[in-house]
Amino acid sequence: MAGDRNKIVSYESNKKIATIRINRAERLNALNEDVIQGLSRAWREFENGDDLVAILCSAGEKAFSVGADVKNPPKEMWEGVPSIGAKASKPIIAAVQGWCIGGAYVIVQMCDLVVASENAVFKYPEAQLGFTGGLIGSAVARIPHKIAMEFMLLGEDFDAQKALSAGMVNRVTPSGKEYEAALEWATILSNSAPLVVQSLKDFSMQTLNKSPAEIGALSRERLLTIRQSDDGKEGGLAFAEKRTPKFTGY
C-alpha cells in the first residue's frame, strides 16, 4: 500500500515495513497540531495493521524536526509520541537528519532504534526558553543520568558523534544514508519472529522507569480514549434524550 506523500504525515507500507514520514520541510518539519494528529493516526494504523516494523523519518535535509511550531503549537504534544499517545507494541526505528530539537527529540527518544546522519544535531533548549512538557525526563531511563541532565538542562548542541557516544543513537551514517541504514535494520526485523520481537520490546518497556510526565500522559491518553469512544457519545446522547444508554464497550 502506497502512502500519499502530499499528506502532512504519510504512511507507506512495503514488505511488512511501514515508513511514517513528516512532510513539512518548508517549516523544517515543525510540530503543529496537524503533524501531531497525523503521527497519532499513523501509530494507530501501524499498531492495528499487518506491518511488523516502522521507520520514522521526515522530508528535507536540514531538519528531522525543529520541535514545536512556535507560531502554531500542538495542543497536546504527547498524543504524537509512540508508546505514550498511542500503543506501540512493534519496533520503531527513527532515521534522523539535521536538527532534532525539543519535542522532536522526545518522539525520537521513544523509538526503539535510532540511525542518525552525520549532520544530525540534537538539542533540548526548553530550560532556556522557559517552558517544558516534562516528557524529556524519561531520558534518564534511556541514557546515563549525568549525560541526560547535561542534555536537558544546558540546552547545548549534541552532534551525531556525541549522541552516539551518549547512547542516544545506535548508528551514524553519511548524510543522506540514514534512511537506507534504517531500512537494512527494518528488513532484519521484518524477517524475524514477530512474537519474540514484540515480547522483547514489551519486557523492555516494562523494565524502563517512567517519568511523572510520562505516567500522566499515559493516564490522559486512556481517559481521552474513553471520552472519544462510542460509549462516551452514547452516554451523553442518552442523557440528553432521557433514556437508558446502550453501551457496547467501544
Q: Dump pLDDT digits (tens) for 110-149.
A: 999 999 999 999 999 999 999 888 889 999 999 999 999 9
Residue spans per domain, the chain: 9-193, 211-250
pLDDT at 195 exceeding the cut of 50: yes
> Which of the 8 DSSP states describes residue 115?
E
Which residue matches cell numbers 534511556? 142
Please give the CATH architecture assigned to the domain spanning 9-193. Alpha-Beta Complex (3.90)
Q: How far is residue 25's CA from residue 239's CA, in Å, rounded to a whole number?
A: 47
The DSSP 8-state label assigned to residue 60 in this structure reads: S
What is the reported pTM? 0.86
Contact 198, 116 (CB under 8 A): no
Please report the pLDDT score of residue 169 as a whole number.
Answer: 98
Hey, what's the cell of 240?
440528553
Cell numbers at 130, concatenated: 522557559
Lowest mean pLDDT among 37-41, 56-60, 91-95, 215-219: 215-219
Give the pLDDT confidence score for residue 222 in this predicted structure. 63
Q: What is the pLDDT of residues 168-189, one digit of tens each?
A: 999 999 999 999 999 999 999 9
All 3 cell numbers of residue 138? Answer: 524519561
Under 8 Å between Cβ of 111 and 96: no
Measure the CA–CA gap between 214 and 153, rounded to whole angstroms. 18
Same-fold call for 9-193 versus 211-250 = no
* CATH 1.10.12.10 for the 211-250 domain, yes or no: yes
Other residues' Cβ atoms within 10 Å of the Cβ of residue 171: 16
Q: Which residues contact 82 (CB under 8 A, 6 or more apart)?
A: 43, 56, 88, 92, 107, 110, 111
Confidence of residue 241 (pLDDT cuts 50, 70, 90): confident
Report residue 1's pLDDT band, with 50, 70 and 90 as the boundaries.
very low
